[in-house]
Amino acid sequence: MKKDLMKILRGSLDSIGVSPMPDIEIEIPKAVSFGDLSPPVAMGLAKQLKKSHREIAGDIVNSIKDSNIFEKIDIAGPGFINFTFTREYLYSSLKSLLSGRKSFLREEVGNNRRVLVEFVSANPTGPLHIGHARGAAVGNALCNLLEESGFEVEREYYINDAGRQIKMLALSVYSRYQQLVGIEAGFPEDGYRGQYIDEEAAELYSQVKERYKGVPFQECEEEIGGWAYSRMMELIKKDIACFAVKDFSNWVSEKDLYEKGDVSRAIKELEDKGFIYGKDGAVWFRSTAFGDDKDRVVIKSDGEYTYFASDIAYHRNKLERGFDVIIDIWGADHHGYIPRIESVMKAFGYDISGFRVILVQMVNLLKDGSPLQMSKRAGNFVTLSEVVDLVGADNAKFIFLTRKSDSHLDFDIDLVTATSAENPVYYVQYANARINSIFANAEAAGIDTENMGDVGFQVLSNREELELIKKLLAYPMVLEGAAKAYEPHRITFYLQELVAMFHSYYHKYKVLTDDAGTGRARLALCGAIKIVLGDALGILGVTAPEKM
């Protein structure tokens, strides 16, 4: 729909001598009385052409000749050009949609550009919690969306397996293990107190029995740490799998960056460029040269690298791999980190226009309307797998995707579970199941449900049917907008609108009527809705059940 209008508008602007060709935006008007599509292009050109909005709009309309796809073209308001398509055009578009060609549902956004999306990247010290779940849902949907919009996408998980937290994980398990075998071992002040640590200690005992009983921590730290770490990674991968998120392409290890010498090399490179200096016995990166509010330490006075040092190496590594777009999805509590990472990228000589941090706001977990404080240290957090058990992966993902990622989200466990029947995800999925049921009934009645492209579409003539067709044809525009803005949640809202129209239509008109021609045409319309539903839900990572 948009492609066709775009082509015509370009031709029109060219013929009235507009140069250079502006970016043309095409909007779907709010009210049906404003036509089907409406580009505010005349208003944008007023200054350049030194004419009034309506004059320009008139010129554009006059220059559009021999186009038979519009029923009418109106100039309205301050200079909107409202295009209304002919029914024949809608029918032939619907037929194209039904052909099943995916390309019909896509606008090209990516042009094979390579994009790296890093998300979740939770520390390997415990199971994923609900905050990670939100990051996973957003990241997964965004990757799917970009992939479907013509990007080459790599999904990446960064493992912080080099720092103090691994030692603390080892020490936590060690302490619980010693307690288990009857030795009074003090629990570390800032150790991980979750129940899963007890379980790991028990598992360790069942595997090695009393091998480490009374052994000083220093002597078994590496063994226990390595063992616990790999157990945690298994746990995390299992959590990700249970949330039905597509597999990550890469698992990048912080430890590897150190061992390969990437960290020292990256800092050396910054030093060569003159952005590194020593002060107070420490080594600093001059991030203030790039807009950060203070310089940052990369090597502490005790000779240890800071966490930031490996992040420099990691982002250097991302840049080296030659992506056109680099997206980091972070918890919003890390937002203060953005200026220093951007500084790093600038210091390496890269234009940061291809770099984007998407902040995912914290999930405010509620129970009975009151906040549930979560802390990994205290161990009273709700894990991702618990949430999935309680409300289901589809349900949770859909909720996360019904708001933009940087707005706070109240997730009331009781509310979501108790009123799950009223959850919007069911509303959308129900439409799919309904359509499927109609098709089953049609087949049972001996109606031909194949070759939907050959039905007589002309009988689809009432207001609801025409509006449904237009809504379907707008789908590629929604995807395009969502992909350009990196905002998968737009798809969720589109789905709710589309499905609302369908449910309403379903109640007002019977699909399988006595008239065979009407029945098949309506069936075809339902088939088209099902195609779009399946496509969109697939991008969101939500299933489209055949039956409910």
Site for RNA in 309-338 (CB under 7 A): 332-337
The HSE-up count of residue 324 (CA atoms within 13 Å, CB side) is 12
40 binds RNA (CB under 7 A): yes
Binds RNA by CB under 7 A, chosen from 301, 451, 461, 462: 301
Task: Name the residue nearer to RNA (CB basis): 24 or 181.
Answer: 24
Task: Name the residue nearer to RNA (CB basis): 63 or 306.
Answer: 306
409 binds RNA (CB under 7 A): yes
462 binds RNA (CB under 7 A): no
50 binds RNA (CB under 7 A): no
Binds RNA by CB under 7 A, chosen from 67, 179, 288, 402: 402
Binds RNA by CB under 7 A, chosen from 132, 296, 315, 346: 296
Decide if 502 contacts 529 (C-beta within 8 A).
Answer: yes
Count other Cβ atoms within 10 Å, centred on residue 527.
20
259 binds RNA (CB under 7 A): no
Decide if 1 contacts 37 (C-beta within 8 A).
Answer: yes
Task: Name the residue nearer to RNA (CB basis): 296 or 318.
Answer: 296
Binds RNA by CB under 7 A, chosen from 3, 33, 72, 378: 33
Task: Name the residue nearer to RNA (CB basis): 184 or 368.
Answer: 368
Enter the tokens of residue 519: 């029945």
375 binds RNA (CB under 7 A): no
Task: Name the residue nearer to RNA (CB basis): 34 or 212.
Answer: 34
C-beta of 104: minimal distance to RNA in Å?
20
Round to whole Å and give the CA distance between 191 and 142.
35
Closest CA to 124 of 171, 191, 169: 169
Count other Cβ atoms within 10 Å, centred on residue 547.
9
Enter the tokens of residue 101: 């060609």
Ranges within 12-31 binding RNA (CB under 7 A): 25, 27-31
Enter the tokens of residue 441: 């009934």
C-beta of 294: minimal distance to RNA in Å?
7
Closest CA to 484 of 315, 249, 325, 342: 325
Round to whole Å and give the CA distance between 508 and 513.
12
Task: Name the residue nearer to RNA (CB basis): 272 or 514.
Answer: 514
Ranges within 492-511 binding RNA (CB under 7 A): 493, 496, 500, 503-504, 506-511
Task: Name the residue nearer to RNA (CB basis): 23 or 351.
Answer: 23
Q: Is 264 exposed, middle or buried (0-12, 13-18, 19+ CB in 10 A)?
A: middle
Binds RNA by CB under 7 A, chosen from 433, 447, 459, 466: 433
Round to whole Å and give the CA distance between 307 and 317.
15
Residue 20, H or E segment? none
Count other Cβ atoms within 10 Å, centred on residue 453.
15
Round to whole Å and give the CA distance between 469 and 484.
24
- SS3 per residue for 448-512: CCCCHHHCCHHHCCCHHHHHHHHHHHCHHHHHHHHHHHCCCHHHHHHHHHHHHHHHHHHHHCCCC
Task: Name the residue nearer to RNA (CB basis): 96 or 420.
Answer: 420
Those residues with Cβ within 8 angstroms of residue 399's Cβ, 6 or more apart along the chain or in another chain: 409, 411, 416, 423, 424, 425
C-beta of 38: minimal distance to RNA in Å?
3
Binds RNA by CB under 7 A, chosen from 4, 6, 15, 43: 43
Binding residues for RNA, total number by CB under 7 A: 94
Residue 124, H or E segment? none
Task: Name the residue nearer to RNA (CB basis): 88 or 333.
Answer: 333
188 binds RNA (CB under 7 A): no
Buried b (16+ CB within 10 A) or exposed e, 228-263: bbebbbebbeebbeebbbeebeebbbbebbbeeebb
Task: Name the residue nearer to RNA (CB basis): 80 or 248.
Answer: 80
Binds RNA by CB under 7 A, chosen from 187, 251, 307, 350: 307
Ranges within 214-243 binding RNA (CB under 7 A): none
253 binds RNA (CB under 7 A): no
Binds RNA by CB under 7 A, chosen from 11, 261, 281, 538: 281
Task: Name the residue nearer to RNA (CB basis): 261 or 291.
Answer: 291
Round to whole Å and give the CA distance between 485 and 358.
11
353 binds RNA (CB under 7 A): no
Task: Name the residue nearer to RNA (CB basis): 127 or 212.
Answer: 127
Q: Could you tell me which residues are beta bridge partners of residue 252?
A: 158
Segment near RNA (CB under 7 A); pick from 11-19, 88-96, 383-391, 477-485:
477-485
Ranges within 162-181 binding RNA (CB under 7 A): 162-165
Ranges within 55-114 binding RNA (CB under 7 A): 76-80, 82
- For the chain, what is the radius of gyration of the CA atoms? 29
Round to whole Å and give the CA distance between 526 and 254.
50
Binds RNA by CB under 7 A, chosen from 3, 102, 211, 279: 279
Enter the tokens of residue 324: 């056109």
C-beta of 355: minimal distance to RNA in Å?
15
C-beta of 12: minimal distance to RNA in Å?
17
352 binds RNA (CB under 7 A): no
Binds RNA by CB under 7 A, chosen from 89, 308, 355, 398: 308
Task: Name the residue nearer to RNA (CB basis): 246 or 286.
Answer: 286
Segment near RNA (CB under 7 A); pick from 61-69, 105-113, 292-300, 376-384:
292-300
C-beta of 369: minimal distance to RNA in Å?
9
